[in-house]
Structure 1
Amino acid sequence: MFNFSNSVFKLRSISESDVIKDIRTFMLPDENIVSAFQSGRDQVVFTDKRIIALDVKGITGSRKEFSTLPYSKIVHFTVQTPGFLEFNNDSELVVAYPNGALIQFEFSGGNVNILEIAQIISRYVL
């Protein structure tokens, strides 16, 4: 099980076509993928409604655990964009939930549209 309290996820961007089929089954009919990321065998998908985390378990990977983090429950969030012409072009998102959990997402590479994700979260938080 994901321990979301004060968690850090180091993610690299993947294409929408690389999202595991089981995540699409987990989504609502009117829910759309905004961005998708991977860390090892695990995946994190930002939709237009929530964050879906998939934890692939065991040696074979046949056992999977899905967690959902609704944007509507976020108390506050921060984003850090990559700098211009910096060696490190990573970005970061930290979300806080009412129970005190802080979840930090670190995105590797400059091809992450962190501001698009922030705008979607803002629709639910504000």
Structure 2
Amino acid sequence: MGLFSAGDIDAGGAQAEFQAWLIDGEQVLAAFRTIRDTVLLTNLRFIFVDVQGLTGSKKDIQSVPWRSVTRFSFESAGTFDLDADMKVWISGSAAPIEVKISRKSDPQKIQHLMARLVIGR
């Protein structure tokens, strides 16, 4: 699917910025931004915003409910790596969505949050 390289952004700021795309009662729990793209983890779903084109006016927005996530994996950043890798497999799709998470982010915290959301606790 997609390959994103992400660094943390404030969940409250993301909540305000993307409020028009969220439904009533949906809360942004974590958010990551690349130079142009954004990944939101809400209490209901994953949202991937892929900004396209030179001007960035065209956006591909993928919405994945947590119940559709079949598995996910994290690979920590090595000594010479700049980013950790996260892969998310969605039911009905053979290829995972790949997200590169900045070394400054906390992959263990993200994994813990995702596990709670996927398992439903």
In the alignment, the residues of structure 2 paired with residue 44 and residue 75 of structure 1 have an alpha-carbon distance, to the nearest angstrom, of: 18
Q: Look up the match of 1:8.
A: 3
Instruction: Select the structure with the greater relative contact order (CA < 8 A; seq sep ≥ 6).
Output: 1
Question: Aligned partners of 1:20 and 1:48: how far apart in 2?
Answer: 12
Q: Structure 1: 5+ residue runs without aligned partners?
A: none
What TM-score do the two structures reach when normalised by structure 2? 0.75
Q: 1:124 to 1:44 in 2, by over 3 A?
A: closer
- Percent of paired sites with the same residue: 25
Residue 92 of structure 1, CA deviation: 2.2
1:94 to 87, 90, 108: 87
Deviations, residues 32-75 of structure 1 (Å, cap 9, x unaligned)? 22221222222111222221111223333333332112221111
1:26 positional shift: 0.9
Q: How many residues align?
A: 118
Query: C-alpha distance in 2, partners of 1:90/1:55?
Result: 19
Equivalent-residue separation in structure 2 for 1:20 and 1:47 (angstroms): 9
Per the normalisation by structure 1, the TM-score is 0.72
**1:103 pairs with one of 93, 97, 110:** 97
TM alignment of 1:1-126, pairs within 5 A:
4=1, 7-16=2-11, 18-19=13-14, 23-82=18-77, 86=79, 88=81, 90-99=83-92, 100-110=94-104, 112-126=105-119
Give RMSD over aligned pairs. Answer: 2.6
